[in-house]
Amino acid sequence: MEDNINIDDHPAHNAAPPRAVERNEALTFGDYTAPNHTPLLSCIRRPGNGQTRPDLQPAFIQMLYGSAFRGNSTGDPNLHLTQFKSLCQSVRVANEVTTEEVLLLAFPFSLSRKALEWLYALPADSIHTWDQLGAEFMNRFFPAHKTQLAKNGINSFSQEHGESLGKAWERFKEYQRACPHHNFDRYYLLSTFLNGLRDEIRFYISCASGGSHQKLTFDELEESIERMASDRTTPTEFSRRKGNVENVSEVNALKVELAELKMQIYSSNRDALGETSDQLSGNQSMFSQEQGVEDVNYVANNPYSNTYNPGWRNHPNFSYKSNNYQNAPQENRN
């Protein structure tokens, strides 16, 4: 029995690895078509000096996966880079490791799907610095035509119908955040926003500014807009006024329908009582003069006015001319 067997001396361990099929040997079809894993070469040069490099913890990698950028049209590359830098800057690293090394090593973990495919499609060992990697990322997922569309949204800004000052101001700032490289100065942005407001909102800003916003500095003007935009009671006055106009139109329409209904009821009463045409003409004139004000007040104050159905006008059960009354015996009528 042999003692102290060394695993390195085992025949299976010392067996030569499978060698590739040489040209002069018979090559089977299975050998030719057998898939072999070919590792994808990273475009990022491995950071570090070979002795020290960032040590990414599993919890940190999981956080990167949770906010991974997929590369679809709805993703915001600016927001992704901002969040990614914040996470990397919060990592505690050794003194010999720089923040740029952490960014380069961790960036692939923050991508998925189309974005990760794009990264591995770049030439191997072509990215050496973080600035270079960030520029390549923005050129791919925020190209020139997308930048132009975002700038057009700022240039053509206009307040939408029924939109409050606060919502318009927030939407205008979202356009700027979506394209932080718009290169528009502050003076142009404020001028574009004021020109895109509705006339009544611009007049309100002038009144709140002491009669005219032309006399304000850009600091005072922006502060005034911020203050009025945060006041949620300001825009409700305009929307409330618009609602009153619509309510008046609805009341007028109900008044016309109510007048037609009363005329039909009055005609039914006339046939039942046997009135002459002269009496009808006089009663109609009196009805229109004396009952006009009451009709308006009734429709405006009646909570059930919206439940009126025009199909009820000719319904036999809602007519004063009742067939049951005419067919009843004489003694029952008295």
- Residue-wise pLDDT for 296-319, tens only, equals 455 445 555 455 555 555 555 555
Do 317 and 325 form a contact (C-beta atoms < 8 A)? no
Q: Residue 257: how many CB atoms within 10 A of its CB?
A: 15
Is the model more confident about 302 or about 195? Answer: 195
Q: Please, which pLDDT band fits residue 236 given cuts at 50, 70 and 90?
A: very low
Mean pLDDT to the nearest integer, 156-178: 92
Mean pLDDT to the nearest integer, 57-74: 91
Q: Are residues 71 and 137 in the same domain?
A: yes
Q: Are residues 81 and 112 in the same domain?
A: yes
Q: Is residue 37 part of a domain?
A: no
Q: Is residue 76 part of a domain?
A: yes
**Percentage of the chain modeled with pLDDT above 70:** 60
Amino acid letter, residue 122: L
pLDDT for residue 103 is more than 90: yes
Do 226 and 216 form a contact (C-beta atoms < 8 A)? no
Q: Is residue 99 part of a domain?
A: yes
What's the pTM?
A: 0.54
**Looking at residue 286, what is its pLDDT?**
47
Q: Is residue 14 part of a domain?
A: no
Q: Are residues 64 and 104 in the same domain?
A: yes
Q: Is residue 6 part of a domain?
A: no
Domain boundary among 178, 201, 234: 234
pLDDT for residue 235 is more than 80: no
Q: From CA 334, how far away is CA 29, in angstroms rounded?
A: 114
**Looking at residue 49, what is its pLDDT?**
61
**Distance set, CA 119 to CA 53, 131, 253 (Å):** 21, 15, 65
Secondary structure of residue 179 in the 3-state scheme: coil
Mean pLDDT to the nearest integer, 16-43: 71
Domain boundary among 142, 160, 194: 142
Q: Residue 150: how many CB atoms within 10 A of its CB?
A: 19
**Distance set, CA 20 to CA 16, 27, 29, 31, 171 (Å):** 12, 10, 14, 10, 64
Domain count, the chain: 3
Amino acid letter, residue 79: L
**Looking at residue 150, what is its pLDDT?**
87
pLDDT for residue 26 is more than 70: yes
157 is in which domain, residue-wise? 146-234
pLDDT for residue 249 is more than 50: yes
Q: Is residue 333 part of a domain?
A: no
Q: Residue 91: how many CB atoms within 10 A of its CB?
A: 16
Q: From CA 150, how far away is CA 253, in angstroms rounded?
A: 46
Q: Residue 27: how many CB atoms within 10 A of its CB?
A: 11
